[in-house]
Structure 1
Amino acid sequence: MTGNPGGGARCAPCGSVTSSADLLPMQPTPSRYGTAGLPGESMGGDICVSVRRESQGRAVVWMAGELDIAIASHTRQILLDAVSAYRQVIVDCGRLDFCDCAGLSVLIAAQNAAPAHGTTLVLRRIPSQLARLLHRVPHRLCIEQSGLPAAPVSTSCMGGL
């Protein structure tokens, strides 16, 4: 995060400008995102995660930067909080530059938790690096194809999670 002449802060991974009042703390605390759907961003290391309520019961989680082992536990809690607070959570991965297996486990954990809350979790705008990883790992993530409604995609391969 860098300073901005307009008084806000610029997130290095996604380039967004946000006032410090809109930022949420990076350290995990039980109520930092709450269940009221208050908008906010968490910036740290090389990732920016932003949760925005789009309508009653629906939120979009935007991710930009690198989703890896260094930030996985923090991002996991953000997604689990969103899944418990909304009936539909859309994870927009379009600005992810990198996702390792720890990052993928974050997405799968959120998907696995969603049914217990009556929530649908959908991934959209999957970058090619993440798409290659998804093809190699068994999962049941729901992926939105451009112009088509989201559909569950299951993959199977040697081993398992």
Structure 2
Amino acid sequence: MEKKPCSYSLAVKTSHVLPPDTNNHGTLFGGKLMAHIDDVAAIAAVRHSRKPVVTASTDSVDFLAPVKEGHSVCVEAFVTWTHNTSMEVFVKAVTEDLLTGNRKVCTTAFLTFVAIDENGRPSSVPGVYPETDHEKLLHEHAGARAQQRKERRKQSKQFAETFGTDFPWDKGH
């Protein structure tokens, strides 16, 4: 498979923040923004691999500024790194006060997707290469982020084994 530039996978979505999207503070629900992030990141991963994908992990989603009702939120995503069947996708969300034009980065996140074949099994993906300084910075540190994800996943599996499927109220508590 031929490597592709990071920019090949760029996906962008802009949404107007309306009252049903907001909480009692008049700001966008975090879960709603996370849904936008997962959607746009998945588009970037499919665009890169040209295969169906599943979300394997979401690293920290850092909410840096509120997204207010009446403003817009623009979510941008692109593949920064690949490994066999997986792709790391960087996501940046920018909120804009549509009346003043004031813009702020409101969220950043990294997500990992796995490409799957027609049987739902992991499928190989093309490599990716950075071109801009920003892409190079993200690509350069991707291996370390992947190692952190691997360790976090191991810990999550240990938690799952420790806590199991029972609920406290099932045990007479």
Greater length-normalized contact order (CA 8 Å, ≥ 6 residues apart): 2
Higher helix share: 2
- TM-score by structure 2 length? 0.27
- TM-score by structure 1 length? 0.28
